[in-house]
Amino acid sequence: MSPGGPRRTLLPALLTLLLSAALALTTLTAPARAAGPGGSWTVREPGGPRDAVTAVVRLHPADGTLTLTARKGATTVLEPSPLGVVTSAADLTAGLRPLSRHTRQVTERYSMTTGKQLRRTARMTETRFTFAGRDGALLGLVVRVADDGVAYRYVLPGSGTVTVERETSAFRVPGSARAWLTPYSPNYERLYAPATAADADSGAYAYPALFRVGDTYALLTESDVDGRYDASRLAHTQGDGTYEVRLADPAVTAAGPLATPWRTAVVGDLATVTESTLVDDLAPPSRITDTSWIRPGAVAWSWLDGFGAAQRSLAAQQRFVDLSAARGWPYTLVDDGWKTTDWMPELIAYARQRGVQVLLWVHYGDLDTAAERAEFLPRVKKWGAAGLKIDFMDSDSQERFRWYDDILRDTARHRLLVNFHGATLPKGIQRTWPHVMTLEAVYGAEQGTVPAAGLTALPYTRNTVGSMDYTPMGFQFGTRTVSDAAELALSVVFESGFQNFAGSVTAYRDRPELTRFLEQVPTVWDETRLLSGRPGESAAFARRHGDRWFLGAVHAGAAGTDRVPLDFLGGGRWLAEVVRDGEDGGLLRERHVVTRRDTLDVPRAEHGGFAGQVCRYVPGRDTCDRAVTRLPMTALTAGPARTEAEPGGAAGVTGRFGVEETGPATDVRLSLRAPEGWTVDGADPTAAELATGEGLSADWTVRVPRDVRPGGYDLAVRVEYRAPDRPGSGVLRVERPVRVFVPEPGAVYVSDLPFAAERNGWGPVERDMSNGERDPGDGGPLRLGGTVHDKGIGMHAAGEVVVELDGGYRRFTADVGVDDEVGGKGTVAFEVVGDGTTLLATEVLGGADPARRVDVDVTGVRRLTLRVLDGGDGVDSDHADWADARLTP
């Protein structure tokens, strides 16, 4: 979303990999020997066909500078581009002379837990050069060439520490090359836009950057970045095609010998670019031996259906657990806001009973020290959390990458899956740390309006280098820029180990064909094929999982017809099911029996697309769907959420339970639980079976004991039921609270009085609840320092409430402070004003401060004003409570 101490690097293991030939199957060595002042050396992809990818390293005799040129066949995609490093001890950019050159063939076979292809074979030609500078300092240059691109890195030998002040590395693209670029920001959340290499505005650009030279493309990025170095970006001056590599830090210091990240160019046609695994191929192998606990999957994500208020509500999060259970999705993600509650262990237990695992959002600042991680990670693991969404890193510095090293080691130790938001770009991290399911680093759906041209640029740029958490399906949020079928297609077009589906329960219910497809589509792939498309215009993909192919296409532009070649299929007949836009705006499912010689014609809406799946056809088969284990989607409501009753009095309580989807529910019983000593009048209804659309209801009268003490009391409406299609799951239980407040005799609460005037800095003033968000009644309990208050006023700086007292009261009392819902943030001050005179003004109170007791003489006051002021540092998170605010006659 973009809603420490010293660290040891992982350098020894890294250098073992980088500086040895252990991974080579064959080594071809040119003897180390002195050479002349200049030279030119070609590194060619293994097996080098006529249109092979080649890299040419040249040492220029006039000044001893180095350049690298990259070609695909006869096409030069990178013109001679400067190489070199300046350290605090030596200038290794000029005056160089060659010492040695060694070439080997590198073949690596490895498996992934995420991505466009789970099992991979990387074949590369590697040449390692050694050059000496004017003062004898050594520069190692390692160049690798594969059939999908070129990469190089520097190796600075020697022990001790080395400080890199800058690289002279650059990529020189022909100035007329077409470009798709995104301005640099440390969270990579900017749109891609077309330009030409030379005419692009001056400034900093983020990886990956895509260029087209003739019919050949070059995607520029980097790989294998960790805490020994930092990340870089591209700097461009309008007028030519040079894009310089600029480090995030003024200087980088690390233990020697130092191997820098790989400067990488994926080279080939668009199919090569989108299907390439070069960035992962260059990264270090997995640091996790046992990956059996790492399971990608679909996630129900509630943020775009209620934002922070939904995250603070146990009932709302239980509903999204139920959504996952009803759809067969393995995960639910609870985002920012849950840490101000105390019900997370209860939610995780509720989800576990339904076969769903819970992922938790956490701010980077809560995990940026070893002590914080040592406390937090074991705690959430003990609760049963499956993983974390970690947000707001917002930096590419070496310090931040050292933190990535630490958090990935620690989360792996606790077997917690990871989703990074507000994060850097994938740079091979998912190979090295396979429990990283996805990263944001994209202008995604939570921005509200992502143009169709922006969507169709991402498959060729950002998503080529690793999993991308775009969060599709948020139909209830923002402005729709593509059709429903195109949005559905993003579940295939966009690759992500966690697909955080952002729709509401209602949005899915209104689109049954879309929901049915999302129950089937996987999040990891055995094979990926680009079928057609151009950046910023369209993208059509086929991705295979097991023996099924899934299709997805999205377009920016006019309506038309997609013509999908099926030559990626094997022989024989296949069943193709396509979900597309209908003329009435709904979604249609169509079936075709096809062969690999056929072309699938699919009508397309404006800014539209389609999704589909293809499986082997056998007579009688009419769907490719596989069985999905579903629990009933149910709803339990209890009312009123809060009520008042005098000692010896009574309160009415209602309970309503219904089966909304994927029924039936069996052995159903609805009941009310009250405190000891209270009596409940009314029957507890039961049903042997409730089909979809059926329900139970009950009305109870609760009688309060005469001797009860004033305060708040919790009752609970409970339903118990079973899911017949899942006999091993046992009894499922849901509870909804009802709070009964018993007032103190004679007390007058300000929240019960009419307001003569009111204003608030964020949303409305709330009665008997915290400020919450922008809508009336969206706050949580008034909570100060962990204590819940049933009565009071929730406000936000700068705000005030005015009540007419007409001289009828002697004292005003309250507990004031920043509500717990903002998690320790916020700073406010409180004022009590009577008839224009300030009667009390508090010091500035912060979110971590204890509540302050307010006791003010209001004798004779006719007009009382309760005012909340900003603490002097802006109004962010300034949620202020007047808890238990009362007047004494």
User: CA-CA-CA-CA torsion for 521, 525, 529, 530, nearest 10 degrees?
Assistant: 60
Residue 817 domain flag: yes
What's the token pair of residue 662? 């994927």
Instruction: Give the burial class of 118: count Cβ atoms within 10 A of its Cβ; 0-12 exposed, 13-18 middle, 19 or more buried.
Output: middle
Give pLDDT < 50 ranges for the chain. Answer: 1-36
Specify the CATH number for the domain of residue 144: 2.70.98.10
Q: Are residues 174 and 257 in the same domain?
A: yes
Report whether 848 contacts 710 (CB < 8 A): no
| DSSP codes of every residue in 27-65 | EEEPPP----S-EEEEEE-TT--TT-EEEEEEE-TTT--
DSSP 574-607: EEEEEEEE-TTSSEEEEEEEE-TT-EEEEEE-TT
**Whole-number pLDDT of residue 12:** 36
Per residue in 850-870, is it b (16+ CB within 10 Å) or e — as a string? Answer: ebeebebebeebebbbbbbbb
- In a domain? residue 497: no
Output b/e per residue, 354-393; b: 16+ Cβ within 10 A: bbbbbbbbbbbebbbeeeebeebbeebbeeebbbbbbbbb
Question: Are 83 and 28 found together in one domain?
Answer: yes
3-state secondary structure of 539: strand
Let me know whether 884 and 816 are in one domain.
Answer: yes
Residue 403, phi then psi, degrees to nearest 5: -65, -40
Q: Does 834 share its domain with 856?
A: yes
Question: What is the per-residue pLDDT for 11?
Answer: 34
Give the pLDDT score at 420: 98
Look at residues 245, 251, 208, 252 and name the one whose alpha carbon lies nearest to residue 226: 252
**CA 692 from chain center: how many Å?**
34
Question: What is the pLDDT, as a whole number, of residue 6?
Answer: 31
Which residue, 884, 826, 827, 878, is CA-closest to 853?
Answer: 884
- Same domain (yes/no): 41, 91: yes
Strands 711-722 vs 732-742: parallel, antiparallel or unpaired: antiparallel
In a domain, 705, yes or no: yes
Other residues' Cβ atoms within 10 Å of the Cβ of residue 593: 11
Question: What's the per-residue H, E or C state across 122-154?
Answer: EEEEEEEEEEECCCCCEEEEEEEEECCEEEEEE
Residue 638 lies in a domain: yes
Q: Where are the beta strands (DSSP E) in 269-406?
A: 297-301, 331-334, 357-363, 387-391
Written as one string, the DSSP assignment of 338-358 is GGG-S-HHHHHHHHHHTT-EE
Residue 35 pLDDT:
40
Tokens linked to 535: 């950046």
Give the Cα separation of 813 and 828 in Å (integer): 18
Beta strand pairing status for 574-581 and 609-616? antiparallel
Is residue 6 in some structural domain? no
Whether 57 is covered by a domain: the verdict is: yes
pLDDT, position 65: 98
Residue 253 in domain: yes
| Residue 264 and residue 202 in one domain | yes
Last residue of a domain, one of 697, 717, 742: 742
Tell me the C-alpha distance between 411 and 400, whole Å: 16
Of the three residues 742, 776, 794, the one that is the final residue of a domain is: 742
Does this model's pTM top 0.95? My answer is no
Domain end position, chosen among 720, 742, 764? 742
CA atoms within 13 A on the CB side of 11: 19
Q: Are residues 813 and 777 in the same domain?
A: yes
Q: Are residues 705 and 837 in the same domain?
A: no
Mark whether 774 and 705 lie in a shared domain. no
Same domain, 721 and 753: no
In angstroms, the CA 250 to CA 233 distance is 13
What pLDDT is stored for residue 37 in this prediction? 62
Active-site positions read: 391, 446
Per-residue model confidence (pLDDT) at position 867: 98
Question: How many domains are there within the chain?
Answer: 3
Helices then strands, counting H and E runs in the chain, come out as: 13, 61
Q: Which helix (H) or strand (E) holds 323?
A: helix 314-327
How confident is the model at residue 10, as a pLDDT? 34
Domain that includes residue 671, residue range = 633-742
Give the CATH number for residue 811.
2.60.120.1060
| First-to-last C-alpha distance (Å) of the chain | 50
Asked, for residue 97, whether it belongs to a domain, the answer is yes
Residue 340 has a pLDDT of: 84
CB 247 within 8 A of CB 395: no
Read off the CATH number of the domain in which 702 is found: 2.60.40.10
In this structure, the answer to whether residues 712 and 790 fall within a common structural domain is: no
Q: How far apart are CA 147 and CA 137, in angstroms?
A: 33
**48 and 186: one domain?**
yes
